[in-house]
Structure 1
Amino acid sequence: MNILEKIIAQKKLEIAALDASALRRAAEQSPAPRDFLAAIKRRRFAPRPSLIAELKRASPSKGILAPHLDLFQVADIYTQNGAAAISVLTDEKFFMGKLETLRDLRFTHQSHIAPLPKDFTIDESQIYEARANGADAILLIAAALTDDKHFADLHACALSLGLTALVEVHDEAETERALKLKDVKLIGINNRNLATFEVSLATTERLRPMISPEIAVVAESGIFTAADVERLANINIDAILVGEALVTSDDIPAKVRELSGMESQ
Structure 2
Amino acid sequence: MLNKFREAKQLEIESLRKDFMEGRIPAMYQGERPSFTEAIRSKGPGAIIAEFKPASPSKGVLRTDLDPMEVAETYAKNGAAAISVLTEHKYFKGTPDFLFMMNGPGLPLLRKDFIFDPLQVAMTASSPASAVLLIARMCDDAAHLKQLIDIARMPGLAPVVEIFDQADLDRAREAGADIIQVNNRDLDTLTTTLDQGRRFIKQKRDGELWICASGVSTRAQVEEMASLGFDAVLIGTSLMEADDPGAKLAELAGVK
Alignment equivalent of 1:139, drawn from 133, 141, 146: 133
Structure 1 contact 23–132 (Cα < 8 Å) conserved: no
**Structure 2 counterpart of 1:36, one-letter code:** F
The amino acid of 2:61's aligned partner reads: I
Match of 2:102 among 85, 90, 105: 105
Kindly provide the CA deviation profile for residues 62-98 of structure 1, in whole angstroms up to 9, marking residues without a partner as x: 1111122222111111000100000111001110001
In the TM superposition, residue 23 of structure 1 has moved relative to its aligned partner by 6.5
Q: What is the CA–CA distance in structure 2 between the aligned matches of 1:23 and 1:87, rounded to whole Å?
A: 28
1:21-44 C-alpha deviation (Å, 9 max, x unpaired): 7575502x6335221111111123
User: Scaled by the length of structure 2, what TM-score is found?
Assistant: 0.94
Q: Does 1:66 align with 2:59?
A: no
1:50 aligns with 2:44: no
The match for 1:12 is 10
- Within the candidate set 84, 88, 91, 1:87 is matched to 84
Q: Distance in 2 between matches of 1:56 and 1:32?
A: 24
Structure 2 counterpart SS, 1:203: helix
Q: Does 1:176 align with 2:177?
A: no
- Corresponding residue of 1:41: 41
Q: 2:184 aligns with which of 175, 185, 191?
A: 191
Partner residue, 1:221: 214
Equivalent pair of 2:87/2:98 in contact (CA under 8 Å): yes
Q: 2 CA distance for matches of 1:248 and 1:69? A: 11
Distance 1:231 1:32 in 2: 34
Change (3 A) 1:232 1:9: same
**Equivalent of residue 198 in structure 2, options 205, 208, 222:** 205
2:150 counterpart of 1:130: no
**Which residue is equivalent to 2:110?**
116
Aligned-pair Cα RMSD in Å: 1.5
Query: Is 1:26 matched up with 2:27?
Result: yes
Map of 1:261 onto structure 2: 254
- Asked whether the equivalents of residues 190 and 204 of structure 1 are also in contact (C-alpha less than 8 Å), the reply is yes
Q: TM-score, normalised by structure 1?
A: 0.91
Cα deviation, 1:148-181, whole Å, max 9, x if unaligned, reads: 2111100111011211111100111111111122
Counterpart of 1:16, as a letter, is E
Moved over 3 A (4+): 20-25
1:17 match: secondary structure = helix
- Alpha carbons of structure 1 residues 124 and 23: separation in structure 2 relative to 1, 3 Å: farther
Structure 2 gaps, min length 5 = none
